[in-house]
Amino acid sequence: MSLSSTLIGLPLRWEALRKRVRFALQQRHFAEADLGVPIGHGCSAPILHPDYWHSLEEIFFMGEYDGAGQRFPLPTRWLDLGCHAGFFSLCMLLQHRKQGNKANLEALLVDGDGRVAPQIRRVAERNDAVGQIRFEHGAISRQSGSLRFVERECMASGSGNSPAGASAGVVREVPVITPTRILELLPPPYDLIKVDIEGGEHDLLTGYQDVLKHTDHMLFEWHSWHGGGGGLPQLRRLAADLGFTRQMEFKTPHQAPAQGTNAECGVLLLQREPR
């Protein structure tokens, strides 16, 4: 046994020290492990933070978006608003590769949580999608300039109300990504916009008409505690006013505690009638 191995191994015989080392590695140096989970067809899901295991499980193990190709055409140009770990867009990439599609894919991923930027870069690098999958740090809001955004764990980051039991998080000033900026970064048309912005849906429907009018489908996660105050019926009316008259449940409504009250959320598949 080498001297270096002995110097490292002897202290680690103490359980208390091993626990401290394990905690430090998980909390401060997790990304350096460069973990990746093979998901088939040459695709791999990087995990640069322990929190991303939850998203991986929902999308690739529990099949949150199974049947996407049957319920709406696989997108070749899409916006991923509230992208978190980037696994929805990776799922779309995987579906194309499963079908042997050679189409040139373009996706713009947006999130107010700046911590996800290295993760999205790694998603693109690991899956030979650099230039196809791009990230922009910013929040969806009718407010101009910047806004207060709370970075939390377990996919609860956002500018709106926090789910009951969520950590207080870290408050940061985040730039608002405007409709003009989105149109510059990825010019329309868009086959699909995936929306998961934790209560910002009302701002999207009332402030981003110039983006939405170029969109065929929306995979729209709604939260009854959104900023408009009118729950799901209000969001349905606003979507219909924008031409999304076909509205189907992609995920049935379920209880989701928010700000100490019982609230609902779910996922709608919205389709614009042919123009």
Dihedral, 90, 91, 96, 102 alpha carbons, nearest 10? 0
Question: What SS3 state is found at 229?
Answer: coil
Percentage of residues of the chain with pLDDT beyond 90: 63
Q: For the chain, which residues make up each domain, given as ranges? A: 34-271
Per-residue pLDDT reduced to its tens digit, 148-161: 988 877 555 656 54
Q: What is the mean pLDDT of residues 29-37?
A: 70
- Report the b/e string of 203-228 with b at 16+ CB within 10 A: bbbebbeebbeebbbbbbbbbbbbbe
Per-residue pLDDT reduced to its tens digit, 68-109: 778 889 999 999 999 999 999 999 999 999 999 988 999 999
Q: Answer whether CATH 3.10.129.10 is correct for domain 34-271.
A: no
d(CA 74, CA 103): 11
Which residue spans within the chain are E strands per DSSP?
35-40, 43-47, 77-81, 106-111, 133-137, 146-151, 170-175, 190-195, 215-223, 246-255, 264-271
Q: What is the mean pLDDT of residues 109-120?
A: 96
So what's the pLDDT on residue 5? 45
Query: CA-based Rg of the chain, rounded to a whole angstrom?
Result: 20
- Predicted model pTM: 0.85
User: Is the pLDDT at 239 greater than 90, yes or no?
Assistant: yes
